[in-house]
Amino acid sequence: MGADRAMLVKGDVPLDSLAIASILAKIADEQKPDLIIPGKQAIDDDSNQVPQMSAEMLGWLQATCASNVELADKRCTVVREVDGGLETIAFALPGVISTDLRLNEPRYASLPGLLKARKKELKEVAADSLGVDLAPKLKIKTLAAPAKRQAGKKFVSVQELVQVLHTEAKVT
């Protein structure tokens, strides 16, 4: 929504995070954007690696898990949630910001907006034409569901709980 142009990178093979970050960095080298804003997680592996890897490859500053972003005078100020509350960081552009779900409330596109979007440029690029190594560096050897949890126990009194802790859990 609101984009002037878009690029679709098409590939025939599954890509790992490093290949995707390499593609993103290559395109950023060519297009020269001031800011790259990917999400913090992917729906496939939930690894949160692409934003950090692409920032490192480009040599750009980065902020992760942004819940508020302000841009002014080639500087970016980001508010992010951390364990202790909120943290505010600022840096000079260009940069990479991974977003948090609290960053914005997506809006629905209007019919006139949809019609305008159909006229915008959508450049399709083959992933293997970018000169990036697409061979996966990560191999998943096994994938299994976690073991089933045992049912919990209910205790009638505190004395019964203390007794079980002493005898079964060996708590002294």
Predicted confidence band of residue 109 (pLDDT cuts 50, 70, 90): confident
Domain containing 109 equals 5-139
For residues 130 and 13, the answer to whether their CB atoms sit within 8 Å is no
Give 10-59 pLDDT, tens digit per residue.
988 888 889 999 999 999 999 999 999 988 777 667 788 999 999 999 99
Rounded distance, CA 55 to CA 62, Å? 6
Nearest to 50 by CA among 8, 19, 93, 14: 19
Write down the H helix ranges in 6-129.
17-31, 50-58, 111-119
The total number of structural domains that make up the chain: 1
> Taking 90 as the threshold, does the pLDDT of residue 150 lie above it?
no
Give 126-138 pLDDT, tens digit per residue.
999 999 999 988 8
Query: What average pLDDT does this structure show over 107-115?
Result: 85
Q: Collapsing DSSP states into helix, strand and coil, what is residue 157?
A: coil
Q: Does 130 reside within a domain?
A: yes
Token couple for 27: 């395109």
> Taking 80 as the threshold, does the pLDDT of residue 124 lie above it?
yes
CATH of the domain at 110: 3.40.50.620
Q: Does 146 reside within a domain?
A: no
